[in-house]
Amino acid sequence: MSQYKDCAVGDTCYFWFAANDATGAAVDGEMPFFDVRLAGAAAGAAPKASGTPTLLTHANYTNGLFEIAIGTTGYAVGEYSVFCTLTISAVNPAGFVGSVKVVAAGTNLHAITAAIKAKTDLIVAGYVTVQAPAQTSSGGYVYCSDDDLDARYGHINVDAWADADADANAAKITARRLAARTYAGARFESRMRASPYSGSIPITDIAGNTPLVVVNINVMLAGYWLSTLRGVSDYDKEGNPLTLLSNDYREALLTIEEIVSEKLKLDVTK
């Protein structure tokens, strides 16, 4: 018996079965039928769905090959079993075709794998924020994206740092992610205003996009800010909180100073 299929609410899941008569020959039989049952429901509960399987009729197929399509729109999350029957050789045998585990949209194995691949592709490609910085309501700019943060530190890690209340509230996590990126942009710009690039804010290259060096600086500043949300137990000699990302914070500040002193030159019009 195979493992259940994995399906998100709203998807269509397919099953197949074959029919043979008492001699073992493939035959179509009569009155094929299927029922879908929610696992754990009362024994007398009505099927979630019932219907007629589709007989496959192409010349390449033998007799007695059927396909069952289970549309899961409106289904509750849970595991569902699929049974079939048909009349053949004057008898009416029953069979168990398989089961499907219906999960919330976006959380089935395929969706999760696709999301992991997308993040992996992002990490392999490096920072991919090839876009103009976004202006905030306060007039400043955000120079890195959530994907940039995830590429360096991992989506699970960043979400854990942003979950300061430890209640897995998605809205608050999203808000703190944005707050971290907004802080990073403000911290970066505050130093650029006292530099040869003061007239070039927002800092963009000649194509109007954020230079990757600037993206990296802002990612490290935002990551460090998030890493301090749950409190710290010690500080460095400059009074900065010590976290696992303290070295990233120092590297970001050092890079900023190298830009200000023009040891590093950004491809921007000053």
pLDDT tens for the 270 residues of the chain, in order: 567 888 889 999 999 999 999 888 999 999 999 999 999 999 999 999 999 999 999 999 999 999 999 999 999 999 999 999 999 988 888 999 999 999 887 766 666 666 666 655 555 555 555 577 888 777 789 999 999 999 899 999 999 999 999 899 999 999 999 999 999 999 999 999 999 999 989 998 888 888 889 999 999 999 999 988 776 656 677 777 677 888 899 999 999 999 999 998 888 866
Amino acid occupying residue 261: S
**What is the b/e burial string over 136-167, where b = at least 16 CB atoms within 10 angstroms of the residue's CB?**
eeeebbbbbbbebbbbbbebebbbbbbbbeee
Based on the fold, state whether residues 131 and 62 are members of the same structural domain: no
Q: Which one, of 30, 74, 80, 79, lies nearest residue 53 by Cα?
A: 30
Do 121 and 99 fall into the same domain? Answer: no
Full domain range(s) for residue 186: 117-260
Beta-sheet pairing, 141-142 with 134-135:
antiparallel
Q: How far apart are the first and last CA of the chain?
A: 69
Number of folded domains that form the chain? 2
If DSSP codes are grouped into helix, strand and coil, which group holds residue 139?
A: coil
183 and 255 in a single domain? The answer is yes
81, 103, 125: which is the final residue of a domain? 103
Q: Rounded to whole angstroms, how far apart are CA atoms 152 and 161?
A: 14
Upstream peptide bond of 202 is cis (omega within 30 degrees of 0): yes
CA dihedral 34, 37, 42, 43 (to 10 degrees): 30
Q: Are residues 144 and 212 in the same domain?
A: yes
CA distance 77 to 46: 17
Pair 123, 244 in one domain: yes
Quick one: how many helices (H) and strands (E) in the chain?
6, 10
Strand order in the sheet with 78-87: 5-8, 94-103, 78-87, 30-38, 49-51
Q: Residues 10, 92: one domain?
A: yes
Q: Same structural domain for residues 181 and 211?
A: yes
- What's the confidence (pLDDT) of residue 47? 96
CA angle 215, 220, 226 (to 5 degrees): 125
The overall pTM is greater than 0.75: no
* 55, 88, 257 from 30: Cα distances, Å: 11, 6, 81
The Cα 199–Cα 208 span in angstroms is 15
Instruction: Specify the length of the chain in residues.
Output: 270
What is the bridge-based pairing of β-strands 94-103 and 5-8? parallel
Query: What is the C-alpha to C-alpha distance for residues 264 and 138, in angstroms, rounded to an integer?
Result: 29
Instruction: Please report whether residue 108 resides in a domain.
Output: no
Q: Looking up tokens 């740092």, which residue turns up?
A: 161
How many C-beta neighbours within 10 Å does residue 51 have? 15
**pLDDT value of position 259:** 93
Q: Which amino acid is at 36?
A: V
Whether residue 267 lies inside any domain: the answer is: no
pLDDT of residue 61: 95
Q: What is the pLDDT of residue 205?
A: 85
pLDDT tens string 90-137: 888 899 999 999 988 776 666 666 666 665 555 555 555 557 788 877
Measured CA to CA, the distance from residue 97 to residue 83 in angstroms comes to 6
End of a domain among 75, 103, 131? 103
CB atoms within 10 A of CB 232: 13
Does residue 246 form part of some domain?
Answer: yes
My answer on whether 178 and 244 are in the same domain is: yes
pLDDT per residue over 219-239, tens digit each?
999 999 998 877 665 667 777
The answer to whether 151 touches 122, Cβ cutoff 8 Å, is yes
